[in-house]
Amino acid sequence: MSELTELTIAEAARLLRLHSISATELVTAHVERIDHVDHLVKAFLRFTPELYERQADDADEKLKRGEGGPLTGIPLAVKDVLCVKGVETTAGSQILRGFKPPYTSTAVARLFEAGAVMLGVTNCDEFAMGSSTENSGYFPTHNPWDLDRVPGGSSGGSAAAVAAGEAMISLGTDTGGSIRQPAAVCGVVGMKPTYGRVSRYGLIAFASSLDQIGPFARSVEDAALVLEAMAGHDPLDATCSDRPNDVRRDFDKGVKGMRLGVPYEYTQVEGMERGVKDAIDAAIKTLEQAGAEIVDVKLPHTDYGLAAYYIIAPAECSSNLARFDGVKYGLSVQDVDNITEMYMRTRRQGFGTEVRRRIMLGTYALSSGYYDAYYLKAQKVRTLIKRDFDDAFSKCDAIVSATSPVVAFPIGSRTEDPLSMYLCDVLTLGGNLAGLPGISLPCGTSQGLPVGLQVLAPQWREDVALRVARAYEVASGVKAEVAAVG
């Protein structure tokens, strides 16, 4: 049944509706694939047989009655920052070990309502802080295309699960590139929606003005179907929009007559590998041959984006993570003399190095005497970056670039140099600062490893990003393949 783990949603849904396979058989094939390869990939932190057995049975009952939609019976993996009622959810951190939420996040609940079957919880950088999934409080995840290399981060487990054929779809979160960058280096499709398109209720927060939930999949169509199922107003999230859920509008209309912008600054970023640049140049040429007009655009404040992001995100993390104090849930160090010592020892033992680093950076930036010099200035730069994108989109319909300036790098090669790690997100974090929708999809290889093409669109125009990505997928014939692990 190995071929069942290589299907797209459209292919699987057709077989399910014809009763050629059952949801139980489809889920079983993925569980067997997990048994075969996950000891090598380490995409999952924990599994949920109590859920997938019941949900697969429910899906089969619906299918027998001729009911259900495209996601009915589709195997799903969920990043360990999205709460699922009764399922241990730890944000990849020891400080939340054993925590079982009393509710399910809206994004996951909507996929459950659509019939998706949850296989388990995927590994991630602790509290989504990282670009390689080496910052997990449990163990690093390995890239299915080369087990000695990283899968990207912070949603590395979710990307690796889809790339390795362990799940058909998965959920991740994107604060500075944490869906698009691992999608790129694992050779799958990953989409970050506009800030406010998908409810953040039930997401363990890192940086609340930047975090967004989105899908990983093997095709642009699959990503669109998952996003459509999750999107929409949620009264439990005040930042969630009630705009029409039109993310698949004009999906198959191609790019003929569209203007696609190529930012000069994105072609000149530090550390851009030659093989990545060549693959992106070829992808842009393919889009041009498909009928798009390629135009030059400028994003002049790109060089300041990394600095602004690493002030704003740690400042918000400092505030959000203050709630983890050992009192109500998670780790609690009890062998102490007073409550202050309990707070300090619980947080020191529970948080990893990168999380402590970002909490300290954020607390410093917000402290008296430094707020104006750092945090306020970073917010002003964020406004300038948003204006840059607005100006660029006045000249084009969407922006295309590399997703990551490098292919997957060896595990351990950047852990001692945080700045080189942060540079992995230099092409993606602008989309978060400006609240834009973006997608990464496979566009070839360099050094035998996947390269990702990024498409950014104006706010609330997921339909444009998906349309361009779909057009490239059709024109190029490049598809997300399942890695032959081991």
Burial 327-364 (b: 16+ CB within 10 A, else e): eeebbbbeeeeeeeebbebbbeebbbebbeebbebbbe
The owner of tokens 């694939």 is 33
Rounded (10°) angle between helices 49-64 and 9-17: 60
Task: Locate 244 and state its tokens.
Answer: 């029409």
At 1 the pLDDT is: 46
Distance CA 274, CA 277 (A): 5
**Phi, psi (degrees; rounded to nearest 5) at 260:** -110, 125
Residues (pLDDT < 70) of the chain are 1-2, 486
H or E stretch covering 377 = helix 377-393
At 416 the pLDDT is: 84
H-type helices in 18-127, by residue range? Answer: 23-41, 49-64, 106-113
Give the single-character DSSP code of 234: -
At 270 the pLDDT is: 87
Distance CA 313, CA 238 (A): 20
At 222 the pLDDT is: 98
H or E stretch covering 170 = strand 169-173
Structural domains for the chain: 2-258+465-476 (3.90.1300.10)
At 433 the pLDDT is: 98
At 237 the pLDDT is: 98
Distance CA 342, CA 328 (A): 13
At 2 the pLDDT is: 56
Those residues whose C-beta lies under 8 Å from the C-beta of residue 435, and which sit 6 or more positions away, are 194, 195, 196, 386, 459
**Residues carrying an active site annotation:** 79, 154, 178
Distances (CA, A) of 453 to 75, 133, 239, 402: 26, 21, 29, 5
Put simply, whether the predicted model's pTM sits higher than 0.95 gets the answer: yes
Distance CA 125, CA 134 (A): 6
